[in-house]
Structure 1
Amino acid sequence: MINTKFKLNAICIAMLVSTPLAYAEQENTTDINNDVEVIQVTGIRSALSKSASIKQDSSGVVDAISAEDIGKLPDTNLAESLQRISGVSIDRANNEGNQVTVRGFGPSFNLVTLNGRQMPNSSVIQEKGVSRSFNFREIAAESVSGVSVYKTGKANVASGGIGATIDINTAKPFDYDGFKAFANVKAINDTSSEKSSVTPEVSGMISQTFADDMFGVLLSVSHSERESGRERVGTSQGWVKNRANPDGVDSSAIDTSVNPTGTYWVPWTPEMERFETERTRDNAQLVLQFAPTDKIVATLDYTLSRFEEISETNKMSFWFDNPGGTADQNGTVVDITNPNDELNFWAWELYEKKENDSLGLNLAWQATDSLKLSFDAHDSTSHSNPDGNTAETIANLKNIPGSVAMIGANFSTEVPSITIDDSTLPGGAYAQENIVSDLYQRRGYEMENNIKQYHASGMWENLESGAISAIHFGAMYTDYQIDTYLSEQFSFVDIPLDNLGMTFDDATGFADEFSGSDQLFPYMPRYSAQDFVDIVRGEGLFREPDISTNGVQEQTLAFYVSLDVNTEFNNIPIDMNVGVRYESTDVTGYSVKPAIIALNYRHAEELRPVYAAEATPQELEGEYTRILPNLDLSADLDNGYKARFSYSRTLARAGIGAMFPSTTINARPDGPYNASQGNPNLLPITSDNFDFSFEWYGNDGSYASVGYFKKFVENFIGAGVVQGTLDDINGEPLRDPSVNPRPGCPDSSDTPNPACMSQPSDPIVTFDISTPDNLQNREVDGWELNGQYMIEDTGFGVVANYTLVNSDEEFEPYNFDQTIALAGLSDSGNLVGFYENDDFQVRLAYNWRDEFLLSLGTEPTFTEAYGQLDFNFNYTINEAYSINFDALNLTNETVRRHGRFSEQLVSAEQYGPRYSIGFTAKW
């Protein structure tokens, strides 16, 4: 694992041999606000020189990346290209970049647009919930011509990003002079896959203009298949405070000077699991352009993406029902034992299918020599699991309860040492005659996100003398609609396992990059969750799903105006942009869910709500207005030096899941009694942003800059927890039938037993009800250090950047009332170097990210420091043909996540390097 100590060594190495970014953009195109001219370049040095020019000439703080040549971004994944920009770091799923964090603000605080248009998202599986955040793994890097990252707000840039607004640019036929085409074929080998097979990736584009450039058509397509694997060791449902009999925990080592209450933590379960994943991704874009005169251009485009991923996994674990053990000085029970228990043998199948479609129209009219008007409209939809397939299928087997004499785990190493004493069980815990069925669970996630957006804009350019050089103005209307459908089936079952076909694999060498891996479970079960469910169905024990529907609609109307000013002060050229944006948003949240009749004491670990047959709709509303000003100043000093100041007010809207009005109950006999409710009246999180930078630019594309940013953030959303009762369908408070159980309860029946359901004589339940609310303000600041140097006439070059981010309040491990902490806050750095000549390019890129808070929740999860080394080689056969080779995660780095302290393992994941070799042709 790469740790903090590795950071300084890696900096020294990568300064000599790492790879730079290509920040240039496409010929004859403009960014989303027509502010930055973008010119197509090829080659690393040329691209880096253009990136420095874009940064130098921009209004506010803008960074960009682009394809070094048609269909060739610096990395094989769009998110992994973005992470090379200072202040931008990424989250990974299955060892692939999927979402970005900018200046410490996670994915939900950044707005992603496609050609200036807000894009929908329906990712559910990875997030275990609903997210606004665009998932970059769904777009092939080959279909993207450039990306602009707006780190400061501007009146004429769509709102929604506190960290940044990230605009993805794709090509248009009028970008090229006549005919242009390319094709690329790759063979990919992911060493993490047990299949060790080679999968294909194919992409291409063809563009042509006709009738003296009056008509243009462009078609780009890509198809990618990936097979990958993952070895994971972790704990399920995190670590829980004081979850054991205090008499069974030795707390004598706890340091009461930092932990005065003597709080200790125990996990529910240690587990070891193996994933095998198959993914298919298809992208296509068709663009038609028509220019009847030299003053009018009409563009019609259709963008499509299809994404399908299936993961099958088996898991070996056990559940601590009555844990005891020894706590360390922090309060983590690191050495845990539990007598008279059993092992668990899990099988999971995860399925995700997404269909994204976007149809857009843009009309641009040069009304006069000084006035340009445009209208842009699009209707875009993202639909996950549209065919209703189940997203998760889960099965569990177990030993007969109490048949294993002792289970235990020691968490003093990176992964736990497992103890199993099955000496009292004839044949042992892994003998199939000692394994019985336990439960099955199926969850179906369907989600549809539709965005309709209309944008009318204009720009007046001053063709005469005067300080005001241009005025931008416009209006935008956005209708954001999201609908989710959740179906869930859960039941404990007793079924025969003769036809299940379960086997066991020797687990020697599992997760061997982590210390302590030689003491894990000795075997890994192998069987199919779907086969288990088929047996359940055949036995007539398959129950009908519980279904809930939730949705949110946001309608936002915005108006803006901004001025570009060019003047001088003491003979120093001064450029200024000043603007203001006004927005008004109406929010409606709805839930359709059956009302609760009573709580059913069905299982020793479950109080299950019993719902009415008919669903009851619930709807809540909210509204808010915001004024978002901005001011950008830059001064061109002597000898290539430049000073810059920016102020802007930006916003990020509340998370979708937080605005669903529905109530969810998660209760166990004798507690805890937890519930959650949404809040559609949440205000947006707003930030006043200040940026200062001092920059130097050389003549050959070299540059250096140091920047400081400060953000004053208001209305952070946290979980406000209140204690109270919840009513049943008749308006009476829910009661607990498990406190004084009646004969025959619990009975584990799928059909609720009236004797096991709440009755008037049962005690009223007091729930801990979690409701999101605008709770606190925060201050975030940091430094961005950038350097780019071209070694004269040698072909060598180097790029380095480092970002430091701080907050006025970070997570406090012994503050149990803390409901807000900024997830994603971390330092990050890139060290990139290259060599190129007329025949080939070589680059080596190292990216590092410090430890960060991944999520807060009931208990926090931290992702430990991670660094990855990637390699790229490209050989030019001639002007038309080239071959390329990519190697990702060369040193087989691993990912580890923990709770409040490093001993509280949440997940330790091991992947492997990934290689690809490709051939490119262009015409």
Structure 2
Amino acid sequence: MRHSMFKLNTVLISMLAASGFTTTAQAQQSQADDPEIIQVTGIRSSLNKSAAIKRDASGVVDAISAEDIGKFPDTNLAESLQRITGVSIDRTNGEGNQVTVRGFGPSFNLVTLNGRQMPRSSSLLDDGIPRNFNFREISAESVSGVEVHKSGKAHVYSGGIGSTINVTTARPFDHPGFKAVASAKAVMDTSNKDGRDITPELFAMVSNNMDGVFGISLSLSHAERDSGKERAGADMNWGNGSNNVNTSAIDTSKNPTKKVWAPFTSSVDVSNTERTRQNGQLVLQFAPTDDLVATLDYTLTRFEQKTQMNRMSLWFDSPTGTADSNGTLTNAVQTGDELNFWAWDYFEKTEGDSLGLNLEWHATDSLKFTFDAHDSTSESNPDGTNSENLANLANPGKLVDYTVDFSGEIPGITIDDSALAGGAFNKDNIIPDLFQTRGFQIKNNIKQYNLQGEWELDAGALSKVNFGVSNTTYAVDTKQFGTFAFVTDLDISGLDLTFKSTSGMLDAFSANGNIFPQIPRYQASQFIELTKDQDLFFQVAPTLNGIEEKTNAAFVSADFNLAAGNMDVSINTGLRYEQTDVTAYSVQEGITALQYFHVEELKAVLDGKPVAQNLEGDYDALLPNIDVKVDLTDELVARASYSKTITRSDIASMFPSTNLIAPRPGGPYNASQGNPNLLPFESDNIDLSLEYYYGDASYISVGYFVKDVDNFIGSSLEKRTINNVDGNPLTDPSVNPAPGCPDSDIPTPACFGDESDPVITWDVTTNGNMAKAKVDGWELNVQHMFAQSGFGAIANYTLVDADVAYNPFNLESQMALEGLSDSANLVAFYDDNGIQARIAYNWRDEFLKRGGANPIHVEAYGQIDANASYEINDNISVFVEALNITDEGTRSYERFPEQVLSAEQFGPRFNLGVRASF
């Protein structure tokens, strides 16, 4: 198959090149006949285009334009978007992957490709079941521009309260004649430890426009990256070991009930990742007449990432010590326990395919119709491979004492393993413990049909009427895998276990004390192979969940051009109506009882009979908008906009199933349940802005926005029982265990819970529509060109505020906006005499990444990036790029800074390449 694809691509490229000779010659002759035709590219050209889009737009729009075909400002789309006022990004492995706009996180922003909603899937449990697009899966070189629509429009698909981000790719009719571009890049990631020091990124595009009658373009990209990550952190929760903690230092004015947060774990880990990304797009355009243009396109994405992680950790069963003023046990002591030696294998594979058809017909000189249809699918781990394999080793006999100091940026760890002859890191003192497999197989398919009309009028103030209808079917089908088992009888003599010193690790952070002196090195996959060889492996049947949303929509809008004195006034007003039917299902085996399986595990006993649950819902939405633009002078533009927008609920939150979350003897007893009746978020938005365009690509803009969000979704904790298949509450067999229990045999009926055991009260996390939240903020931007010197600068700042905030002392249900943060950019550049250079600083303030009972706060982060290029001649240029030059690390915590969850260090990344354009 791969050989066939190579032959197909070779034939297409050859066809394009052959047909390009004549067209290129014609284009060159045309330019010779008309010497005024000048092709302008580069940073200045890109900023000129973006400023023009912003100025001419109806509503609030910011844009990024490619400097030339195949030359986007940054190596990653998300990292380019963060330069826009109001846009912040999240990073994975040091690379931008998702965006937050005006304080609204990734799930609140709709991303479209050439105006079409794109599917998304992920196999990792930590990613959940996302609606939001992941920018790491698409090559920046294939993109011609990105527009961020911050105010709602009647003709735009709904889903983005924060923004609608439209990514555009080049089509052959966009450029005259023949065009070919290729680039090759060597990627040097300094975080890499075990992989290749240099990996390739390749891009090629050929396009041919044959006199505007037939056009064909093909773009291909292949990118590899080997990287590493160092991390330290912990997990904390309310009440762990609180009976053994000195609470005398707690400030009762803030924490009147003296709640205690104590650690469950503390850990240090090292990851090594290999990533491969492939993109391709084939576009055919045909214009049989001057009035009709047909475009057929196919877009392919292939993304594969493998990560091997090793973790050194310890567990606090009953810590002692003294809590600080907020109630956090910052110096935790545990006696008589063990160290844990973990291995993780992550595997992500995502396949995306999109087939689209666009017909543009000029019925008359004033009436145009556009029909657009696409069928797009994203599927993660399509062959059903587990996305996560875990294995753990431990010390025998509970003979290790340790103390962890959480008052620094990362935990400081002191270990006393003198009771173990040879120490805790001696292989003779390490035994098998457990294995776990888990992950998602997700298929997300979107089918959209859109018919739109545009009627240009000569009827006084009314200049244009737009109208249309659309149909969208959004379907997600998932299989969730999960197996957890203790295998203390496993023979691990064949396990390839070594140790690596932690000397020099995490030097971007300070610790009050040491970290673990060594970290284990072995593969979880090898551990699991040993369980298979010894007949100890098993796989639990997957849980099936799915949802289908069918949305019918209709819209109408009108454009007016008026004169008020010496001022030109442009008005766009529109109305969009949508009706959505929702069907959700879950299929999972029924639970008969809980088995006292291990001193640290209660296992659900399944009856082997899949039970289906189906629920339906529906809602509609009326979404008006009005945009007013006033040209106060030739340079000064004022805007005012109102719109209503919606964002649909998180997919996983809508599944009917109830899931038990690793119940343990004595607790915690945690579970989650979806709510298929969730309504979408609704937001009333007001935008006001003033823009001063005082020179070529130079302007100053000030904007103020308000968003009133209704149906805000938040997590709530409900204490209740959960019934088995017979309708009786689940009970805990570990409180008064039967003789011989716990017993890890499967099944062991004597160790099952029955009516004589105490009934469990579960902490069940659910989601519901809560009260309103108001968000407002300011966007300040300056873009300045220093005359004809070639130098320029950009500075912007975004301030965002909300009337709801996360209260770290509140353990009850509460509402908070995830992703809300201020942000800023400072960019300086030079573009002249064939030399381009840019240095950029991006900063994002602290924000809440996840709310709920176990929140994640991410501390403020700033990063410096730079790039430069030199044009050797009209066709060839060389370039260098540097990211995270100062080796910044990221840090997150739970409720207070002392409750560190993760401190991560990635290292700088450098790219060196050559680009050719013909």
Q: TM-score range by the shorter chain?
A: over 0.9
**Residue among 242, 265, 283 paired with 2:239:** 242
Identity within the alignment, %? 56
Whether the 8 Å contact between 2:151 and 2:685 is mirrored in structure 1 is yes
Distance 1:702 1:126, change over 3 A: farther
1:763 to partner: Cα distance = 2.4
Letter of the structure 2 residue corresponding to residue 493 of structure 1: V
Where 2:771 maps in the other structure, the secondary structure is strand
Matches within 5 A, 1:639-678: 640-666=635-661, 667-678=663-674
- Please name the residue that 1:83 is paired with: 82
Letter of the structure 2 residue corresponding to residue 256 of structure 1: T
- Please name the residue that 1:399 is paired with: 395
Separation in 1, partners of 2:658, 2:322: 38
Deviates more, 1:284-293 or 1:485-494: 485-494
- Please name the residue that 1:278 is paired with: 274
Distance 1:80 1:257, change over 3 A: same
Whether the 8 Å contact between 2:123 and 2:381 is mirrored in structure 1 is no
1:512 to partner: Cα distance = 1.2
Matches within 5 A, 1:19-38: none
How many residue pairs get matched?
878
Whether the 8 Å contact between 1:509 and 1:517 is mirrored in structure 2 is no
Letter of the structure 2 residue corresponding to residue 485 of structure 1: K
Letter of the structure 1 residue corresponding to residue 733 of structure 2: P
TM value normalised by structure 2: 0.94
Where 2:422 maps in the other structure, the secondary structure is coil
- Please name the residue that 2:192 is paired with: 193
1:915 to partner: Cα distance = 0.4
1:733 to partner: Cα distance = 2.1
Distance 1:626 1:41, change over 3 A: farther
Deviates more, 1:352-361 or 1:43-52: 43-52
Distance 1:518 1:671, change over 3 A: closer
**Residue among 713, 735, 741 paired with 1:739:** 735
Distance 1:192 1:418, change over 3 A: same
Where 1:630 maps in the other structure, the secondary structure is strand
Whether the 8 Å contact between 2:405 and 2:512 is mirrored in structure 1 is no
Whether the 8 Å contact between 1:288 and 1:300 is mirrored in structure 2 is yes
Where 2:78 maps in the other structure, the secondary structure is helix
Where 1:519 maps in the other structure, the secondary structure is coil
1:465 to partner: Cα distance = 4.6
Separation in 1, partners of 2:805, 2:439: 36
Separation in 2, partners of 1:423, 1:787: 63
Separation in 1, partners of 2:890, 2:258: 30
Separation in 2, partners of 1:526, 1:707: 53
Separation in 2, partners of 1:232, 1:618: 41
Separation in 1, partners of 2:291, 2:248: 81
Matches within 5 A, 1:123-272: 123-125=122-124, 127-194=126-193, 195=195, 197-210=197-210, 212-235=211-234, 238-246=235-243, 248-272=244-268
Deviates more, 1:390-399 or 1:759-768: 759-768
- Please name the residue that 1:62 is paired with: 61
Deviates more, 1:729-738 or 1:498-507: 729-738
**Residue among 467, 482, 494 paired with 2:461:** 467
**Residue among 284, 297, 301 paired with 1:301:** 297
- Please name the residue that 2:863 is paired with: 868
Write out per-residue CA displacement over residues 121-173 of structure 1, whole angstroms, 9 at most, x where no aligned residue: 00232744111010000000001110111000000111100000000000111
Matches within 5 A, 1:81-120: 81-120=80-119
Letter of the structure 2 residue corresponding to residue 132 of structure 1: R
Separation in 2, partners of 1:378, 1:685: 26
1:401 to partner: Cα distance = 3.5
Letter of the structure 2 residue corresponding to residue 474 of structure 1: G
Matches within 5 A, 1:13-52: 41-52=40-51
Q: Which runs of 5+ in 2 are unaligned?
A: 1-37
1:297 to partner: Cα distance = 0.3
Deviates more, 1:672-681 or 1:287-296: 672-681
1:41 to partner: Cα distance = 4.9
Letter of the structure 1 residue corresponding to residue 52 of structure 2: S
Whether the 8 Å contact between 2:49 and 2:65 is mirrored in structure 1 is no
Whether the 8 Å contact between 2:242 and 2:262 is mirrored in structure 1 is no
Write out per-residue CA displacement over residues 718-741 of structure 1, whole angstroms, 9 at most, x where no aligned residue: 123323222211222222222221
Where 2:173 maps in the other structure, the secondary structure is helix
Where 1:473 maps in the other structure, the secondary structure is strand
Write out per-residue CA displacement over residues 450-491 of structure 1, whole angstroms, 9 at most, x where no aligned residue: 0000000000001x2510110010011000000010121110
1:767 to partner: Cα distance = 2.1
Separation in 2, partners of 1:764, 1:336: 32
Note if 1:840 corresponds to 2:835. Answer: yes
- For the aligned residue pairs, the C-alpha RMSD in angstroms reads 1.3
Write out per-residue CA displacement over residues 571-629 of structure 1, whole angstroms, 9 at most, x where no aligned residue: 32111000000000000110011111111111222221111112111101110000000
1:509 to partner: Cα distance = 0.9
Separation in 1, partners of 2:553, 2:64: 29
Matches within 5 A, 1:412-561: 412-462=407-457, 464-494=458-488, 495-516=490-511, 519-561=514-556
Whether the 8 Å contact between 1:66 and 1:147 is mirrored in structure 2 is yes
Separation in 1, partners of 2:287, 2:54: 31
Where 1:531 maps in the other structure, the secondary structure is helix
Whether the 8 Å contact between 2:456 and 2:464 is mirrored in structure 1 is yes
Distance 1:541 1:744, change over 3 A: same
Whether the 8 Å contact between 2:240 and 2:261 is mirrored in structure 1 is yes
Letter of the structure 1 residue corresponding to residue 560 of structure 2: V
**Residue among 552, 560, 567 paired with 1:565:** 560
Where 2:532 maps in the other structure, the secondary structure is helix
Note if 1:614 corresponds to 2:613. Answer: no
Write out per-residue CA displacement over residues 508-544 of structure 1, whole angstroms, 9 at most, x where no aligned residue: 1111111118610001111111111111111111123
1:835 to partner: Cα distance = 1.0
1:278 to partner: Cα distance = 0.1
Whether the 8 Å contact between 1:123 and 1:135 is mirrored in structure 2 is no
Q: Which runs of 5+ in 1 are unaligned?
A: 1-38
- Please name the residue that 2:847 is paired with: 852
Whether the 8 Å contact between 1:190 and 1:196 is mirrored in structure 2 is no
Write out per-residue CA displacement over residues 39-68 of structure 1, whole angstroms, 9 at most, x where no aligned residue: 985111222222222211110000110110
Whether the 8 Å contact between 2:412 and 2:511 is mirrored in structure 1 is yes
Write out per-residue CA displacement over residues 766-810 of structure 1, whole angstroms, 9 at most, x where no aligned residue: 222222110121000000001011111211111111000000011
Distance 1:645 1:786, change over 3 A: same
Letter of the structure 1 residue corresponding to residue 206 of structure 2: I
Whether the 8 Å contact between 1:512 and 1:518 is mirrored in structure 2 is no
1:242 to partner: Cα distance = 1.5
Separation in 2, partners of 1:245, 1:849: 35
Separation in 2, partners of 1:328, 1:189: 44
Where 1:356 maps in the other structure, the secondary structure is strand
Write out per-residue CA displacement over residues 813-872 of structure 1, whole angstroms, 9 at most, x where no aligned residue: 112214321110000011001112122111101100000001013221111100110011
Separation in 2, partners of 1:815, 1:571: 57
Separation in 1, partners of 2:795, 2:455: 39
1:281 to partner: Cα distance = 0.3
**Residue among 321, 329, 332 paired with 1:333:** 329
**Residue among 708, 712, 727 paired with 2:708:** 712
1:387 to partner: Cα distance = 1.3
Runs (4 or more) in structure 1 with deviation over 6 Å come to none
Whether the 8 Å contact between 1:77 and 1:140 is mirrored in structure 2 is yes
Deviates more, 1:822-831 or 1:443-452: 443-452
Separation in 1, partners of 2:885, 2:53: 32
Separation in 2, partners of 1:889, 1:486: 36
- Please name the residue that 1:766 is paired with: 761
Where 2:54 maps in the other structure, the secondary structure is helix
Letter of the structure 2 residue corresponding to residue 239 of structure 1: M
Where 1:537 maps in the other structure, the secondary structure is helix
Whether the 8 Å contact between 2:143 and 2:169 is mirrored in structure 1 is yes
Structure with more contact order per residue of length (Cα contacts < 8 Å, sep ≥ 6): 1
Letter of the structure 2 residue corresponding to residue 529 of structure 1: A
1:639 to partner: Cα distance = 5.0
- Please name the residue that 1:884 is paired with: 879
